[in-house]
Structure formats: C-alpha cells, structure tokens
Structure 1
Amino acid sequence: MSLRDDLAACLPQLHRYARALTGDAAWAEDLVQDTVERALGRTSLLRAHSNTRAWLMTILRHLYIDQLRKRHELALDADDPLWQQLEAPAGEIDGLLLLDVQRALYRLPLEQREVLLLVALEQLSYQEAAAILQVPVGTVMSRLSRAREHLRELLGGDAGSRRNVFKVVRKRP
C-alpha cells in the first residue's frame, strides 16, 4: 500500500479527531487539509513499517496546538465556549445526553481531553497514544484515569441515566 493510499484510509479518523478537538467543522477540515499537506511534504520522515495513522495524528495535534497558540486560545476552558450554545436535536433524549457529554468533554483540561479522544474515540492503544502525545505510557494511563473521573464529576446527576456514557470511556483491556 502506498503512502497516498494510507493517507486516504486515515482521512475519516483524522476528520473525526480534528472535529473532536476543535468542535468546529470548518476548522477541523482546514486542520486535516494542513495535516495531509504537511505529511505529503515530509514523507521522508515516515519510516518504513511505521504507524501512518499515529504519525498523521501527531502532525494534526501539533498543528492544532500551534493554531491555538496563534489564536491565544491554548486553554479551551472558557466560561462561555461555543459548545455551551449548541442545541440537541428536538425531542431526542440521546441528543440531550450527547450534548451533556460534549459540554463536559470540552470542560476537561486539554491534556485529559486529548488522551480521552485518542483512546476512547479513536481506539488507539496506550502505546500509540503515548507516541502521539510524546509522553510515557504511564502518563497516558494517568491522564485517562483523571479524564474519566473528571468527566464523571462534570456529568454528575443520576448515575443510572449516565451509565451508557461510561461504556465509551471505560478502561481498555
């Protein structure tokens, strides 16, 4: 499989990760485009038999952080972020639950949110997430544990009504 084929195969995951990081479709699309452009310009850095998806997600994450710095928004923990203003689909309890989870997700510190997205949403191993974040595996595990606990606290309320949410963020085997 060629690098271009690998890139094409990773596009849905890159889009999902970018959208989860940014919360904005246009910004996510630009971020993915910048990631692919940078990857194509630096193919010599990709070693044979390496994990293309992890390499691309690392590039995407670095671009995202650079863009946050340029926007002076490194901490996305504002009191009134965009995610607070989104509306759930009318009449859908699942939509309301999803909105609650989304709001809570964007209240997590960036370090916790990143690891939660990589492990729970993208289903990367701890080792792959550690490589992308450039931290030890133990740090990934610690951040994930804190993210899960923080998310539980933010969602609060009736544990029974929130039970299904935590299927997504449970420890990986």
Structure 2
Amino acid sequence: MKEQIKTVLPALRRFALSLTGNLADADDLLQSTVERLLSKPIPSETEIAPWAFKVCRNLWIDQHRAAKVRQNATEKPELQAGATFDNEAQVTTLLKLREVEAAMKELPEEQRIVLSLVAVQGLSYKETAAILGLPTGTIMSRLARARTKLAAQFDLDPSGAIA
C-alpha cells in the first residue's frame, strides 16, 4: 500500500497545488490525504490513484469550507516566500503562471477541478468521471466551458489553444 501511494504522490501533489493555489496549503492537503489513505481502508478492488484523487478533493472541499480566510494570505505579497531570479525569462514565466493561476481561480469550482484533473494531471475523461462520480459527458462539458472561459481571458482560440 505504501509503495502504491509513493507512486501517485507527485501527481497528487500537483493536483493539491491546483486546488489550493499555493505550495504551503498544497503540502498540508497532501499530508492530510496521505494520512487519510493510510488510516482508512481502501474499498476492495479500487485503484489507488483515482481513490487518492477523490480523497484529496473531498479533504480540500472540507478545508475550503472551513477556512476561507487562508485565501487572504495567498493574495498578500508580503506573506509569500520571496524568490530571486537570474533572468528576465524566469520572471516572465512566473508572471504568466500567476496570470493563469488567477484565471483558474475565477472559474467555477466544478470547472476548475475538471480542468486540473484533465489538463494539468493528464487524466482521461473516464478517469476524471470516476474520481468525481460524474458522467463522462458532464466532464466533457465542464472542461469545454472552462477552456472557453480561459481562452477568452487570454484572447486565444478556444478550439485548441489550451491543453
């Protein structure tokens, strides 16, 4: 079980980061997820990866509802860990990443989660549907709406501009 969890940790961490919006909260969410996976039995004949994503998402929903105040800390630059950059390309990349993060935060929660699982994590529609307990068609429509909204924000063609 522990070895299976180790293999899914990198993807689970990226997913946690896409949900929380900052590394500190993502690491806390990841730790809570791993604790839950190790302490509660996984249903028989269940694959670890989809189950882990589902546990992570449910924990995030619980934490998000209970602690909306945390979001204020992520928006205050004086509370962020400062980073130094060697060149202009790194700064430009970081600024673009922050623009994308901000745009994703403006998406409705259900679209943001689907976009994160499919476009960021690279999961299939079927896997995403299983994790979220939704029909594949719902996943496809939420993803299409999320892509269209992001494309509009960045003045891109929604037919193929974003993952």
Q: How does 1:17-166 map to 2 (within 5 A)?
A: 17-43=15-41, 45-48=42-45, 50-72=46-68, 82=74, 91-92=88-89, 93-156=92-155, 159=156, 166=161
Count of residues paired in the alignment:
155
CA contact (8 A) 1:104 1:151 kept: yes
Aligned equivalents of 1:98, 1:139: Cα separation in 2: 27
User: Which blocks of at least 5 consecutive residues in structure 1 are unaligned?
Assistant: none
**DSSP-derived class of the 2:142 partner:** helix
CA RMSD of aligned residues (A): 2.9
Aligned equivalents of 1:140, 1:36: Cα separation in 2: 26
Letter of the structure 2 residue corresponding to residue 151 of structure 1 = L
Higher RCO by CA contacts (8 Å cutoff, separation 6 or greater): 2
- Give the TM-score normalised by the residue count of structure 2: 0.82
Shift of 1:37: 1.0
Letter of the structure 1 residue corresponding to residue 132 of structure 2 = L
Shift of 1:30: 1.2
- Give the TM-score normalised by the residue count of structure 1: 0.77
Aligned equivalents of 1:106, 1:155: Cα separation in 2: 14
**DSSP-derived class of the 2:144 partner:** helix
CA contact (8 A) 1:84 1:103 kept: no
* 1:121-156 Cα shifts (integer Å, max 9, x gaps): 111111111111121111100000000001111223
**DSSP-derived class of the 2:106 partner:** coil
